[in-house]
Chain A
Amino acid sequence: MTDALAGLVASPRAWVAIVAIGVVTYGIRLSFIHLFGRIDGVPTRVQRPLRYVPPAVLAALVLPDLVTLGPSVAATLLDERLIAGAVAGAVAWRTENVFATIATGMGALWLFRFVVFA
């Protein structure tokens, strides 16, 4: 793998990007954690919406990976990722077990990819 060897020497472009993304990301992480040590408590105006952060952000991360809007309803629904995701979601709901959710989801994906839709 010559790429890997060459990469060890120098790639200023990649390093500039890595450091810049790292600094920006750390700033985002630190922002409120730093701030709330200085001000007294969290204003209730901020607290109420925070309750909806986990479901909203997690759903916005997950759904686009499971659903791609197709030209028709059938094309959208008959997608191996959506079906596998739905199965995994049902398991998550019934068991609240992360291991079971991932195992079922990957198993369902492979079943549809290599057996059913193959």
Chain B
Amino acid sequence: MRGPALDEDLLAGVRDVSPLMLGIAPFALVAGIAAVDAGLGLAEAVGMSVIVFAGASQLAALELLGENAPLAVVVGTAMVINLRMLMYSASIAPHFAEYGRRLRAGLAYLLTDQAYALSVAEFDENPDRSRWRYYLGAAASLWIVWQIGTVAGVVLGAGVPDAWGLTFAVPLVFLALLVPAMKDRPTTVAGVAAGAVAVVAAGLPLNLGLLVGALCGIGAGLVTEVTAS
């Protein structure tokens, strides 16, 4: 590795992601609690958090596993929820294109909503940043907190009352990332349209409402961009 051991770009990623941990830690706790509820043990809960490392899909899969749903439905639902990462992968890929295959393979494993949103915003604003180190600082921090939180959730089990609504921290994290992402008219229209469609389509099976909403939002943003110019 080039540069000093405690790299400035790496630390910037760690620093920028740290406020998000307030939402991620309870989210991970909930994932651990949900694993126990679904009848899973510590090994499976940690295995899922390490192998899948995608909170929303983990929660959905755990719910379905607990209901003894067919495996194809469990995997299919998780896949649909994670399809949004196809868009993240495409969006962040140009920033990583110059790196070697192995580094890119490692960076891809750590791709999450938060690491993606933080990094592309930083790369836009601060082109001098080392991209992989900033991203690694943010994404690896998320990974560590996610694993610790999952274990804590399994150990604490049902000790945390449902009434606290800890899962509400999850949309709050996304909300805090969403507001600055709506920075001009077309991006605002994209967000509003996507949100409205997702609410109306919330009843669709396999969480398809998320994808339908996102695609409508992207379309609305493009249309707004074209009509404005």
Contacts and interface: CB of A to CB of B under 8 A. Distances in A.
Interface of A: 1, 3-9, 11, 13-22, 24-26, 28-37, 41-42, 46-69, 81, 84-85, 88-89, 92-93, 96-99, 101-103, 105-106, 109-110, 113-114
Interface of B: 19-20, 22-23, 36, 39-45, 47-48, 51-54, 56-57, 61, 65, 71, 74-75, 78-79, 82-94, 96-97, 99, 101, 104-105, 107-109, 111, 113, 116-117, 120, 154, 157, 163-165, 168-182, 186-188, 190-200, 202, 209-211, 213-218, 220-222, 225
Q: Is the interface of B mostly helix, strand, loop or mixed?
A: helix
Nearest to A105: B172
B90 A32 contact: yes
Contacts of A25: 52-54, 57, 78-79, 82, 85
Contacts of B199: 63-64, 67, 69
Nearest to A97: B19
A19 B61 CA distance: 12
Contact of B174 (A18, A51, A58, A84): A58
A61 B210 contact: yes
A60 B169 contact: no
B221 A37 contact: no
Chain B CB within 10 A, most for which of A25, A50, A67: A25
Contact of B22 (A67, A68, A103): A103
Contacts of B175: 58, 62, 66, 85, 88-89, 92, 101, 105
A37 B97 contact: yes
Nearest to B116: A54
B191 A32 contact: no
Contacts of A62: 171, 174-175, 178, 195
B197 A60 contact: yes
A37 B99 contact: yes
A8 B79 contact: no
Given A37-B97, A55-B217, A61-B56, 6 more contacts: A24-B82, A25-B82, A66-B171, A88-B172, A109-B165, A110-B164
Contact of A58 (B36, B117, B202, B220): B117
Contacts of A8: 41-43
Chain B CB within 10 A, most for which of A26, A63, A96: A63
A20 B56 contact: no
A67 B199 CA distance: 7
Contacts of B171: 61-62, 65-66, 85
Contacts of A114: 163
Contacts of A5: 41
A47 B87 CA distance: 11
A79 B170 CA distance: 17
A53 B220 CA distance: 11
10 contacts: A11-B44, A24-B79, A29-B89, A32-B93, A50-B87, A50-B91, A60-B213, A69-B199, A85-B171, A93-B179
A18 B172 contact: no
B171 to A, nearest CB: 4
